[in-house]
Structure 1
Amino acid sequence: MEERLLEPEIFEYGDLLQLVTRDQHDDDAINVSLLARFMHALGPAGCGLIAVRNVPYLVSSRHFLLPLARFLALSSPSVRSGILKEHGLGTDVSFKNPDRSVSSFAAQFYFGKDQRHAHCSQIMESEGANSRSNDWKMKEDVEDFHNELHQLGSIYKRLGKSMVDVGLLVARICDMAIPGVQLEETILEACTAKGRLIHYHSLVDRLFLKAFSSSNICKPNRRKKVNQVTGGPTSVVTEASVCKDMWQDWHFDYGIFTVLTVPMFLNPLDIDLNRVDAASIDLKKSRVETSDSVRGLEPNAFHKHIGLKVLIPLDGCMAFVNVPPDCLIVQVGECAQILTGGKLQAIAHCVCRPPNMSDISRETFVVFLQPAWHKQLYWSGSSVDQSTSSHSAKDFNSSEQNSLESKIPALDSRWKNGCTFADFAKETTKQYYGTSGIQSTK
């Protein structure tokens, strides 16, 4: 099957704000056209995701925050535990397994029903559209790095809340276009959203963690470097031979919206285990800002995409997504598809490793917006169209159809009309990742 590049519709944050604050009787052709483009992009004839540019806090916060995902993932347990506790962060993965492909640092964002989209306007007025004005500069020395690390929690929460506001803004626009749908109210009823700062490990990271684990967490005067851990039974070559070509397998997000930053790709330099244990890794040298190239490698190393691969609902073709780094991505989840009666379309996706690049890691920040646990999920409309609501890999005319069918449980096997979100989430998690789940690692 021929793969292609998908460049989603990009919307200006300010334009979307104006769209929700316009007069209800305003039939301005520009706003009508904007709303039509917006809904087309998120519907079954589109690709199920959009990009939003010029979001407050985004550029500077992304620049600061994403490299810290790798730092936290490779820190010793004692250092990492202290940092997470200081900043009110947790994790939803086990750090005991050095072969893990992902490290995640999570927090809950709480908000009240009075939040709505108005908060977005207040941010725009107080900060201005250009978030570069308050950019943080990464420091080269240990003392400055420690000082910047103290901002981790505040920047994590500020960026996360800004992303929640973008999700609420998208929900309000969908409510405008689909009479009777209350996606914004459904999100607000939950009063919480989950944030995840994610480090997708390179194969070199895995070697590093194994060496780190076997060295009793960096004893003094024991200085090993990542690029030296290649002898013996474990090496990049042997790791690559048993590692999947994906960081995350095919799936649908099951919430309402997933809001995420465009990832950074990092290539590690020589990293001293003692320096990592002392929380003094030189992030400036290991950070790469662009999403389509890596320092020291050919410019088109990633073929101008961000590692996110999707199945486009309309024609069943696979495509790699390309979005500029100064944008947020908003992706439709299965609950939004259910609650809108298929007018919004969830999209199957996976996260791919760059081919033949064992030293590349991927960093991103994600916020999941979902209903309250007790929310009952009814298909919007008088009847449920099983051909639309029970999507799975079999809906796509793909040469990989048989393979994908074995990885993605059908929606109607996890959701029953009127079930609660808690039941839907539990059954979805069970069928994907439970002991007998399709993608279980046990």
Structure 2
Amino acid sequence: MEKAEVLELYEIHYSDLMLLSSTITPSSSSSSLAEEERESLKLICRDVMEALGPTGPGLLSISGVPDASTLRRDLLPLARRLALLNPDDRKRILKEHNLGSDVPLKNPDRSVSSFAMQLRYAQGPKSIRNKPSHRGGTLLHSEQDHLEDGMMREIQDSEFKNLGNAFRKIGFCMMDLGLRIARICDRAIGGQELEQSLLESSAAKGRLIHYHSALDNIVLKEAGRSKATAKRQANGRRDENISIRNKQGLSEGPNLDSNGKEVGSYGLHSNLWQQWHYDYGIFTVLTAPLFLSPSFPQATEPKDLSVFCDEECPSLSGHTYLQIFNPYKNNVCMVKASPESFIIQVGESADILSKGKLRSTLHSVSRPAKLGNLSRETFVVFLQPAWNKTFSISDYPMKHLMSCDQDLRVSNGETNLAEQDQNKLTQEIQKILPPLSSRLKDGMTFAEFSRETTKQYYGGSGLQSNR
């Protein structure tokens, strides 16, 4: 496929977001704003709606958020470190910080590691407190192995001591950004349904995500082999079959996605960290991603793959490697955003509640070409309505119900090679994307819509990888 077109997102500054979402609207006659400033805010509001509306990409970015750089760098690097921890230590740390996971972390071939927490609006930033150290009086054994285990645990606890607080702090910040965008959209559309729907849900889901590099999967497999070897030695057994396979240089098996389907080196699975899909909430708020590459001390090709540290790697040309499908050009666009910004993305629930005045975004996450050892770290907050929120589609544009068919048009006429290649991708996407009409019925609750969407994406053919 030809090189994807670059889409530079419309960017709204945080100070303008605060003014637009304040209790005093730009058009209010009692506003203390100067006429010139009111007109400027009206134009910004128009641009916001164009970016998120039916003719826009369904995304925008927010820059200038206070402490964005600190919040991002405190949390994002921890995603990779959590992903590569041994399972017992990771389980302990996640439990201590009230985190869970919604991907199969035991699978060394997984392309994504995700760590999740429910964030409640009622808590807010005031609930964040520094937790005392989890350690105290545990290094009482004189045996060397116990001492080393204790020292390692101390190091890990020190590294992750602010994990939960950092998770909540950036999460609440991003929830506030989503609420303010919802308020702006409500004013432009009329009513308060988007903002009220978010507040009525009382909670959002935060997800810290590590997109694996090729090296990460090698490290995980080596760790798995070492653990298996230690277990066999402890039990006085050896697995001759695995030994023979290792001597012959055979692989451990096919590359599988999280649903157990084989992933080939071609087609739709060949260069994606995350498969094509729509988010089905109201808004998804994302940090601009952080990219990490391994830095090996005093060696370029060390035998011990675990001896390396993370080094931030600037994104090529500002690419986020989030990509969207543009239905008007029938092509894929690579999203570009400034490094310290937050991205707002429209979900299907916002599309439905706004009667099509906001546009949900068909998207995926691609792997950087020829940069196999680059990993991607990001934090995402999914803002959704209450589970019992009822959807009415009586005033919803019928053409939007066929969103998959509408967005993915395949030319039947004569095409050049580039168009043929694009049409092939379009056809492959169509095979795994269930249209909105097959998942949404009038009077359906959000819980029912969510359940049906999940079933159709991940059930049946099982082609979708974990989101």
Does the Cα contact within 8 Å between 2:408 and 2:430 map onto a contact in 1?
no
Q: What aligned pairs does 1:36-435 form with structure 2 within 5 A after superposition? A: 36-112=46-122, 146-216=157-227, 232-234=249-251, 242=265, 244-270=270-296, 285-288=309-312, 290-292=314-316, 303-379=317-393, 383-397=395-409, 399=423, 400-435=425-460
**Structure 1 290/31 Cα, relative in aligned 2: closer, same or farther at 3 Å?**
same
Q: Secondary structure at the match of 1:406?
A: helix
Q: Secondary structure at the match of 2:183?
A: helix
Q: Secondary structure at the match of 1:307?
A: strand
Cα RMSD for the two superposed structures: 3.2
Distance 1:231 1:110 in 2: 53
Distance 1:256 1:20 in 2: 18
Q: Post-superposition shift, 1:146?
A: 4.8
Q: Post-superposition shift, 1:401?
A: 2.3
Q: Post-superposition shift, 1:389?
A: 3.1
Residue deviations 1:205-251 (CA, integer Å, cap 9, x gap) = 1111111111017969x9xxxxxx9992239x999974731011110
Q: Secondary structure at the match of 2:319?
A: coil
**Structure 1 440/264 Cα, relative in aligned 2: closer, same or farther at 3 Å?**
closer
Residue deviations 1:237-266 (CA, integer Å, cap 9, x gap) = 999974731011110010000000111121
Residue deviations 1:347-376 (CA, integer Å, cap 9, x gap) = 100101111222121111000000111100
> Which residue number in structure 1 is paired with residue 139 of structure 2?
none
* Stretch moving more, 382-391 or 330-339: 382-391
Q: Post-superposition shift, 1:394?
A: 4.6
Distance 2:461 2:162 in 1: 41
Residue deviations 1:104-158 (CA, integer Å, cap 9, x gap) = 000000113x97xxx9xx9xxxxxxxxxxxxxxxxxx987875342111111110
**Structure 1 438/149 Cα, relative in aligned 2: closer, same or farther at 3 Å?**
closer
Q: Unaligned regions of 5+ residues in structure 2, if any? A: 127-150, 234-245, 257-262, 410-421
Q: Post-superposition shift, 1:178?
A: 0.7
Amino acid at match of 1:63: R
Amino acid at match of 2:215: V
Does the Cα contact within 8 Å between 2:118 and 2:204 map onto a contact in 1?
yes
> Which residue number in structure 2 is paired with residue 18 of structure 1?
19
Does the Cα contact within 8 Å between 2:211 and 2:375 map onto a contact in 1?
yes
Does the Cα contact within 8 Å between 2:219 and 2:305 map onto a contact in 1?
no
Q: Secondary structure at the match of 2:432?
A: coil
Amino acid at match of 1:362: R
Percent identity of paired positions between Structure 1 and Structure 2: 42
Does the Cα contact within 8 Å between 1:8 and 1:323 map onto a contact in 2?
yes
Q: Paired residue for 1:30, among 40, 43, 59?
A: 40
Q: Post-superposition shift, 1:290?
A: 2.2
Does the Cα contact within 8 Å between 1:409 and 1:438 map onto a contact in 2?
no
Amino acid at match of 1:232: G
Q: Secondary structure at the match of 1:306?
A: strand
Residue deviations 1:371-429 (CA, integer Å, cap 9, x gap) = 111100123xx633211232015533452321111121101100112210011000100
Residues matched between the structures, number: 393
**Structure 1 289/422 Cα, relative in aligned 2: closer, same or farther at 3 Å?**
same
Q: Post-superposition shift, 1:14?
A: 1.2
Q: Does residue 6 of the first structure (1) align with residue 21 of the second (2)? A: no
Distance 1:157 1:31 in 2: 31
Distance 1:246 1:389 in 2: 27
Amino acid at match of 1:5: V
Q: Post-superposition shift, 1:56?
A: 2.8
Q: Post-superposition shift, 1:439?
A: 2.6
Distance 1:160 1:275 in 2: 33
Does the Cα contact within 8 Å between 2:400 and 2:406 map onto a contact in 1?
no
Q: Unaligned regions of 5+ residues in structure 1, if any? A: 123-140, 223-228, 293-302
**Structure 1 317/275 Cα, relative in aligned 2: closer, same or farther at 3 Å?**
closer
Distance 2:383 2:255 in 1: 39
Distance 2:91 2:255 in 1: 31
**Structure 1 215/270 Cα, relative in aligned 2: closer, same or farther at 3 Å?**
farther
**Structure 1 418/316 Cα, relative in aligned 2: closer, same or farther at 3 Å?**
farther
Distance 1:170 1:355 in 2: 34
